[in-house]
Chain A
């Protein structure tokens, strides 16, 4: 059956926990290419180089009835008293849902920037950017 995915199908899991109030996420995958064109060639040629994955997400700064605040998980990776260590990664699973079928991309990433604030008449939200480290750990798209 045909399926058009929309924001309603999007999910974001951080360290296995589905975030409650996510308004958007994006993922960018890039491949660096190494030029192998030599003198006399008429067309450029390339060899594959290293890959890179990064993206961003916007999460409402929201506390549920149990006091759980999803945005805080990501925010605390950068907004902290102690410095960031190499173990301060998060496992991000970016998901699109189609009934019982999930289209997932999972990666280990560092939260590289966070922005959040409060404005009159607006819901407080946290904008986070992440930089993947290593290979993707799961791809089911």
Chain B
């Protein structure tokens, strides 16, 4: 099951980081060691405010289809609507894919309308 093709009402992206460890000697010198070549742990928080209940249900269904936080998946371009930069910039870094970081949060606003927040993390 693919991720719902809906445009979010707000989006928050953090690009992740390379696995680097820093060591400080007593002299104050810092040594940094790169343990991997890929940027990981990028995060994407998507909010869908006041969508129909049917659309809100798509996220719960997708969460279930991916067995919660187990499976990884790609995102449709609709997730990046409104972003004029390169689509790759707001996507999972090369070699990684998205998975749910936690459970989607669904808030019923009024009969027939709900708001959903999903938090994703990019992993290898």
Contact = CB atoms under 8 A, between A and B. Distances in A.
Interface residues of A, number: 11
Contact of B7 (A34, A38, A47, A50): A38
A37 interface: yes
Contacts of B101: none
A29 interface: no
A109 to B, nearest CB: 21
Interface in A1-51: 34-41, 47, 49-50
A31 B50 CA distance: 15
Contacts of A39: 7-11, 81-83
Contacts of A38: 6-9, 81-82
A41 B49 CA distance: 14
B7 A35 contact: no
B123 interface: no
Given A34-B110, A36-B9, A41-B82, 5 more contacts: A34-B50, A34-B113, A38-B6, A38-B7, A47-B113
Interface of A: 34-41, 47, 49-50
